[in-house]
Homo-oligomer: A and B are copies of this chain.
Amino acid sequence: MSFREELRPGDVEAIGALVARSGVFSKAEIEIAVEVAAAGLSAGPASGYRFVLCDGHSGLAGYTAFGPIPATAASFDLYWIAVERAEQRAGLGSRLLAASEARALALGCRRLYVDTSGRADYAPARAFYERRGYRRAATLEDFYAPGDSKVVYLKILPEAGAP
């Protein structure tokens, strides 16, 4: 499977379906993912969003959306990462994340942030980031809802010893 950075018209719908199938995102979050993809398709890099996409045998297998945080010198947000369940065990998430970090680094990113939830059902997501060099930079209690905190992870690029 190969990665690409250019969005195609069918990707907006495919991204919405991929994010919905993951099962962990709310309807509002799925709408945001679709809006981000639509903005990237219509405005390109001027949208503030960059993408890494991976096509599998039956359509979009995974993608990331990331971009520079306005009014910062070198901070980026990883807004989205979603991977088809069957591809998760094959390590596609790691490869998409590594490709996105490399692209962000080339675009001037030195600090890559990712927000996730402190909820129990997000434990695999938090472990995913922690195994890949992200450290917890902040926790905002009850941010998403009572009992649902926002956890901000940070990876400083390039990581010491990274290729």
* A residues adjacent to B (C-beta < 8 A): 26, 28-29, 32, 69-75, 111, 113, 137-146, 148, 152, 154
CB closest chain-B residue, reference A145: B73
Contact check, B26 vs A143: say whether CB atoms are below 8 A apart: no
The 7 tightest CB contacts between A and B, nearest first, are: A138-B138, A73-B145, A28-B71, A29-B71, A72-B144, A137-B140, A32-B70
Query: Can you list 11 A-B pairs with a CB-CB distance of less than 8 A?
Result: A29-B71, A69-B143, A72-B143, A73-B145, A73-B148, A75-B143, A113-B140, A137-B140, A137-B141, A138-B138, A140-B152
- The quantity of this chain's copies bound in the complex is 2
CB closest chain-B residue, reference A148: B73
Secondary structure at the A interface, as helix, strand, loop or mixed, is strand
Question: A154 — which chain B residues lie within 8 A by C-beta?
Answer: 140
Contact check, A73 vs B138: say whether CB atoms are below 8 A apart: no
Complex CA distance for A141 and B28, rounded to whole angstroms: 30
Partner of A144, one of B29, B75, B152: B75
Q: What is the minimal beta-carbon distance from A148 to any residue of chain B, in angstroms?
A: 8
Question: A152 — which chain B residues lie within 8 A by C-beta?
Answer: 138, 140
Contact check, A144 vs B73: say whether CB atoms are below 8 A apart: yes
